[in-house]
Structure 1
Amino acid sequence: MSNLIISEKVSSAAKRDIIDLNAKINAFNSGETPEESFRKFRLTRGVYGQRQPGVQMIRIKLPYGRITADQLVRIADTSDKFATGNLHATTRQDIQLHFVKLSDSPQLWADLEDAGITLKEACGNTIRNVTASSVAGIDPDEPFDVTPLTHSIFTYFLRNPINQDMGRKFKIAVSSSEKDSALAFIHDVGLIAKLGVNAKGETVKGFKVLIGGGLGAQPFSAQTAFEFLEEQDVIPFIEALLRVFDRHGERTRRHKARMKFLLNDMGLEGMMEKVAEERTAVKNKVFAIPEDLFGTNEAESITHAARPSVSEAYVLENAAQNGIADLDTFKKWLQTNTFEQKQKGWYAVQLRVLLGDMSSDTARSLADIVRQYAADDIRVTVNQGYILRFVKGEDLVPIYKELNQLGLANPGFDSTMDITTCPGTDTCNLAISSSYGITRALEDVMKDEFPEMIYNEDIKIKISGCMNGCGQHNASNIGFHGSSIKNGKLVLPALQVLLGGGFTGDGIGLIGDKVIKVPTKRGPEALRTIFSDYEANAFDGEYFNQYYQRQTKNYFFQLLKPIADLTTLQDDDYRDWDHDELFKTEIGVGECASVMVDLVATTITEGQEKLSLAKENYELGIWADAIYHAYNVLITGAKGLLMTKDVNTNTQYGIINDFEANFGQEFKYETPAQFELADKAETPFRSLAFSINKFEPTEEFATYFLEKADQFLNFVRDTRGAQLMDNSELVLQELSFGKDS
């Protein structure tokens, strides 16, 4: 988009990002930037390729799912202007817009930033959206509000040099209580709020800290790093952990590049030893979390002073007097979609949204309802719904009537009937089969045959279009992921059935077992069979996961085996949900999981960009960030030269060692005595790179380290130039990329 309009309200950092995206799109369209390099760049700006060629999915990063009414309207308006008029809520509390033209993405971003909404680091090898319990701040079970800590994690690591070029994505979740409603156990870092006692004997805020969880084809439950870590120590710990992940994490074998595999290789004790080694170099040794996060806490405490609670009988009588004819449905909604907050006399209203999709017109009407009846603090939930906060008891009836007119008053929020699902083959490159179609079919089964499931909060059902787990199927009591089955020369769409994941009756999170694969059109029969068996044979009060563990995986395999019988296939079994044509697998290249090939010239350019960022942070006096950007100059430059010798190294430590073996004798520099390493056997490049965590991030060390990074990048350019001297055309082409503009 040539006439890019950016308002004065947009921060200078965001403005530069938007202009940079626009410039990179132009360079890509003109052929100046290779596709692989451009893909890597745009992903970290929330621009993600769809299954359909020529259009993008835009992922809007909403930390802990919080948006205001005005922001919801801005997203709706943006969807109308640039996308399809649909807002898709995700399991990471983001909102996604689909079918956006690449050329429109900078202006779309600028329009959102005008309302305080970012796309930065929503995709790519970065810290993804930081999720949290959607009930944080109003949860009757919480020891304290985790919103300030969550928001601080988001702001601290946004544009942080540590997570700009990691080997893989990194996910953080914060739960408000031991119920773990944010699913801490499946995250790279999971935090669960609790109170503890510090060294002075004072009661303080803190967290149980879990690390190394993850889903996908090889799911892992997170391990406990700390039973209690004081709140002020949480961000420094995460920073140190990220430094370890960045330096030691896999980078070549993408399927092995997540934190869970590094933890598995190092072991918990080894990982924590490496984390301790990084504490010297982190920016802050402690980080106090501000209480008055939005500058409104005092006003909030006055506005939301305790009120008289209302009884169910009072609300039902009020409903009858105000013309609600279907009192049975209203009662179900009242019982399943509302609760009294920890603030006495105030109520939360939860919106169950089928497939997570909401039209822009509905979103604007919802914003009006929020302005009239609720606090200006909407939260997108991890089960793809929304929650409204601080509703008065006497307003439950009128807000229901208005929500009902919008189709947003379906009872059964976060119940068994409220299925979580990813978009599947509707838009995703990686999806194997339809997620939306089977979700509708399963919800119809429950509505028609098991209506009591709107009251069941024990059994969660989650669906993904493939094994990668965007729908979090591994972390559900009953999970399904898209697959296929070959039958002779034909292929039919299938569902992998997983059981026993999610939470047990005692609050422990588990990864589900793969039990059996069934034709996707038989998914409803599989669910019907599971429910009927559970109802017939479970003990009184026995949770589903307890029943599953008692009966064992083989019991359920035998139970579902007749449904998987391919000798009884019908013609319809070869067609996916929502499709008339015969099924065939059409899996594209998934952009979060694909291999990114960095060409030498563009790699040198990246090194120069990182050096510029290092110098900017140095000028601002942010020594730790300046040093880390400069460290990335070393890694990027070394990687570029290693590519010229076809050396493909899978970790930063490997890059450092391989560079030393191939080029180390050529790179020389002077080291001041105060920055010499104790190990005199270290060679120059290794010594420089490994000093990153040996010294405090002072101005003096930053000055030294940036000077050497600048010197190293010049060495890289000179070395590459010498390699290409026999081909003057390539010399001009490549070296022009690496010069200062």
Structure 2
Amino acid sequence: MQSFRTELENPIVARDIIDLEKKIRLFREGKVPDEKFRSLRLARGIYGQRQPGVQMVRIKLPYGKMTLQQWRRISDISDEYAIRNLHLTTRQDIQIHYVSLDRTPEMWSKLEQDGVTIREACGNTVRNITASDKAGIDPNEPFDVVPYADAAFRYFLRNPVCQDMGRKFKIAFSSSEADSAWSFMHDVGVIPKVREVNGVQVRGFKVMVGGGLGAQPALAYVAFEFLEEDRLIPYIENVLRVFDRYGERTSRNKARMKFLIQKIGIEEFERLVKEEYKAVKVKQVKVDTAVWDAPVLPAPGAVLPAYTIKDPKKYEAWKITNTFQQKQEGYYGAYVKVTLGDVSTNAARQMIDALANVIADDVRVTANQGLLFKYILPEHLPYVYSVLETVGFAEPGFDSIADITACPGTDTCNLGISSSTGIAEVLENIITEEFPDLIYNKDIKIKISGCMNSCGQHGIASIGFHGSSMKSGGKVLPALQVLLGGGILGDGLGRVADKVIKVPSKRGPDVLRSLLHDYEINGQENELFNDYYDRQGEKYFYALLKPLADLTNLQDLDFVDWGKAEDYATAIGVGECAGVVIDLVATLLYEAEEKLDLSAEAIANGAYADGIYHAYTSYIQGAKALLLGEGVSCNTQHGIMNDFEKHFVEAGKLATGGFKSQVLQINEHEPTESFARQYFDQAKVFYNEAQEYRQAAAVNA
């Protein structure tokens, strides 16, 4: 691969990109093992696809926001490096597919020219921070949460405490008690609150902690009913520090924070979080909302080109289902329903060019894979619709039962078991053709994932499906696990859907028909779907759908997945690049040295807390290296400290005394310059001892 020069103004970003290029080159030369390279690559938003030799690149859009120029830039990048398509995700990101690994540094450099990053969009990091798409214009919000979400994004990006955790970490900001960002299913989720204290209105947040979906969903705990606004970010940092130190690292299936809380209990977890307060770099983070940049609004008196509306009846439905009055008087928001979250780059540019004069320069990707245009004058709504009609995105029914959320599934994902996109398209067609009035139903949500991991959020759907497989007569066929009864209750409360039955994938349409017809016939007047589900009970729905699980009458087509031509076979894609297996111990020691270099640099720049944390990580990586060299398996960071005490300190193999107490000084001191320098010096001494031990072991081997 050829080197390139980046002309970016931000030296930190430029160094990041150059470092990625360097690590790719070392990986190609077999000097970085596959596992370590994968971790580094994922933390830069680069994810191996199901298809060999190409990557999915996830573009990180905090709270889903992009300016029109950023949207154009992303579209141009997709044309040059990918396949002229933008995939909108449930975490308000944009993904592009089929990207060459060797071209990713150059691609990242071009994205950053318009302030767009891929840093920490994947991997064991703080993932994209999401927020209600209505935030800032929501008529029901106590205050705009976007400045706080933005501050959290900037605070944790490249923050040493969250660069190499056991698993990913997700944060969400809801705009009101409606909880449209689903605080209850996040590692940390918050809801804005206002309290009166001594006659003064004080801003704060209800804070939820320890939620998550995946194969084993868990509802979050209430950490605070009300936490003052300036204490929120320090609290999240403390949570991250505990998760980093005590979280599982060997078994990925048990490595999310919800499992740590289940293991040690919420009381012990809260105690550990409080222990960290002394060490955080700042005890309060005040977000100055007064200087928050308002979006650039369309200029008044815009001259519109001639236009026509081809389907006036559909336009009226679209106004009802896809638009709403903002809290700002005289303006409307307009949602765009995007089937499967896929927008061609040509359609994106058409929308940008045609709508620039009538929408705010602030487009939001929504958590159900759509778009939101803001600050539209009521007289401009017909024109906006006509533009969407021209480019094929004027369907009514946004966020209704007809607006199905689906992950990419077996199209591109390594983990996909059966098709999620194919069945989603079929189900949407059934609703629009057989149940057209349901485009107005925003109570029932259908969500589909290609596997149990819940990227399509099936675990909180009224009607959910996840990809699976079944066997019949020695052959394997694609299947769908049917889940019912999930959803939002509001103010931090939610429902996890029940697994009801598994059926062949080709019978998914009949599952939906059976459920909707039964609800139509037996549901009580104005009874919501989940209330109906609760009244009838899980066994009732199992009996209702059981005939569709019968495998005695299968047809040949049942063995072919949706959107496929050949017989189904369970397979995991091989999209990860191969690497030469080399000395992992040497690699860990190399990383420990890198962390020391970062520590020295941070201390020299006055970032004492960051320097201390880098030194802490160097301690851990060095100890892990020596333990692995002795055949001792390593799990949590806390476990590494205990094991090192046992196998090295108590065994007299290393002169270092009180290793664990030495390392844990990190949360016993304020992050002052004097302590930072002392801690760094101690970590450097330990690193040198570790290197000497390793070299002596190699000589004696």
Do the structures match in fold with TM over 0.5?
yes
What residue is the counterpart of 1:311 in the other structure? none
Give a deviation string over 1:34-80, Cα, whole Å, max 9, x none.
22221111110111100000000001111001000000111011001
Q: CA deviation at 1:326?
A: 2.2
Local SS of the residue matching 2:87: strand
1:187 aligns with 2:186: yes
In structure 2, distance between residues paired with 1:616 and 1:491: 56
Give a deviation string over 1:324-370, Cα, whole Å, max 9, x none.
35221000011111111000000101100011001111111122234
1:250 aligns with 2:254: no
Alignment of 1:299-318 (within 5 A): none
Q: CA deviation at 1:140?
A: 0.7
Change (3 A) 1:237 1:506: closer
What residue is the counterpart of 2:642 in the other structure? 657
What residue is the counterpart of 1:314 in the other structure? none
Alignment of 1:112-123 (within 5 A): 112-123=111-122
What residue is the counterpart of 2:86 in the other structure? 87
1:363 to 342, 348, 355: 348
Local SS of the residue matching 2:286: coil
What residue is the counterpart of 2:287 in the other structure? 289
Contact 1:667/1:684, CA 8 A, preserved across alignment: no
2:271 to 263, 270, 273: 273
Contact 1:435/1:463, CA 8 A, preserved across alignment: yes
1:694 to 633, 643, 668: 668
What residue is the counterpart of 1:7 in the other structure? 7
Q: CA deviation at 1:183?
A: 1.1
Q: CA deviation at 1:504?
A: 4.5
The code of the aligned residue for 2:66 comes to I
Give a deviation string over 1:418-456, Cα, whole Å, max 9, x none.
000000101001000111110011001101111111111
Contact 1:667/1:685, CA 8 A, preserved across alignment: no
Change (3 A) 1:597 1:421: farther
In structure 2, distance between residues paired with 1:398 and 1:48: 39
Change (3 A) 1:381 1:169: same
The code of the aligned residue for 2:674 comes to E
In structure 2, distance between residues paired with 1:293 and 1:480: 45
In structure 1, distance between residues paired with 2:474 and 2:293: 65
In structure 2, distance between residues paired with 1:344 and 1:598: 64
TM-score (norm 1): 0.91
Q: CA deviation at 1:635?
A: 0.5
Contact 1:5/1:110, CA 8 A, preserved across alignment: no
What residue is the counterpart of 2:385 in the other structure? 400
Q: CA deviation at 1:201?
A: 5.0
What residue is the counterpart of 2:436 in the other structure? 451
The code of the aligned residue for 2:375 comes to F
Contact 1:667/1:712, CA 8 A, preserved across alignment: no
Alignment of 1:621-632 (within 5 A): 621-632=606-617
In structure 2, distance between residues paired with 1:505 and 1:452: 26
What residue is the counterpart of 1:720 in the other structure? 694
2:233 to 220, 232, 235: 235
Change (3 A) 1:32 1:322: closer
Q: CA deviation at 1:597?
A: 10
1:540 aligns with 2:522: no
In structure 1, distance between residues paired with 2:257 and 2:28: 35
Contact 1:422/1:470, CA 8 A, preserved across alignment: yes
Alignment of 1:579-594 (within 5 A): 579-588=564-573
Local SS of the residue matching 2:334: strand
Alignment of 1:598-637 (within 5 A): 599-637=584-622
Change (3 A) 1:485 1:262: same
Contact 1:69/1:368, CA 8 A, preserved across alignment: no
In structure 2, distance between residues paired with 1:447 and 1:587: 34
Q: CA deviation at 1:194?
A: 1.5
Change (3 A) 1:92 1:506: closer
Change (3 A) 1:590 1:104: closer
In structure 2, distance between residues paired with 1:174 and 1:24: 35
Contact 1:503/1:545, CA 8 A, preserved across alignment: no
Contact 2:60/2:118, CA 8 A, preserved across alignment: yes
Tell me the number of residue pairs that the alignment of Structure 1 and Structure 2 aligns. 693
In structure 2, distance between residues paired with 1:256 and 1:115: 38
What is the identity percentage for the equivalent residue pairs of Structure 1 and Structure 2? 54
Contact 1:668/1:684, CA 8 A, preserved across alignment: no
Q: CA deviation at 1:615?
A: 1.1
Q: CA deviation at 1:598?
A: 8.1
Contact 1:430/1:466, CA 8 A, preserved across alignment: yes
The code of the aligned residue for 1:546 comes to D
Which 5+ residue runs of structure 1 have no aligned equivalent? 308-317, 670-682, 728-741
Q: CA deviation at 1:508?
A: 3.7
Alignment of 1:223-622 (within 5 A): 223-292=221-290, 294-296=292-294, 323-504=308-489, 508-588=493-573, 599-622=584-607
Change (3 A) 1:507 1:658: closer
Q: CA deviation at 1:265?
A: 1.3
Local SS of the residue matching 1:536: helix
In structure 1, distance between residues paired with 2:150 and 2:467: 34
1:703 aligns with 2:677: yes
Which 5+ residue runs of structure 2 have no aligned equivalent? none
Q: CA deviation at 1:195?
A: 1.1
In structure 2, distance between residues paired with 1:78 and 1:598: 37
The code of the aligned residue for 2:88 comes to A
In structure 2, distance between residues paired with 1:625 and 1:598: 29
In structure 2, distance between residues paired with 1:125 and 1:70: 30
In structure 1, distance between residues paired with 2:174 and 2:144: 10
Q: CA deviation at 1:541?
A: 1.5
What residue is the counterpart of 2:125 in the other structure? 126
Q: CA deviation at 1:296?
A: 4.2
In structure 2, distance between residues paired with 1:547 and 1:304: 48
Local SS of the residue matching 1:725: helix
In structure 2, distance between residues paired with 1:349 and 1:609: 48
Alignment of 1:51-66 (within 5 A): 51-66=50-65
Q: CA deviation at 1:304?
A: 9.5
RMSD of aligned residue pairs (Cα, Å) = 2.0
What residue is the counterpart of 2:67 in the other structure? 68
What residue is the counterpart of 1:313 in the other structure? none
In structure 2, distance between residues paired with 1:640 and 1:359: 47
Runs of 4+ in 1 over 6 A off after TM superposition: none
TM-score (norm 2): 0.96
Contact 1:477/1:503, CA 8 A, preserved across alignment: no
Local SS of the residue matching 2:191: strand
Give a deviation string over 1:514-556, Cα, whole Å, max 9, x none.
0000100000000000011111111111111111111111110
The code of the aligned residue for 2:520 comes to E
The code of the aligned residue for 1:608 comes to E
Higher relative contact order (CA 8 A, sep 6+): 2
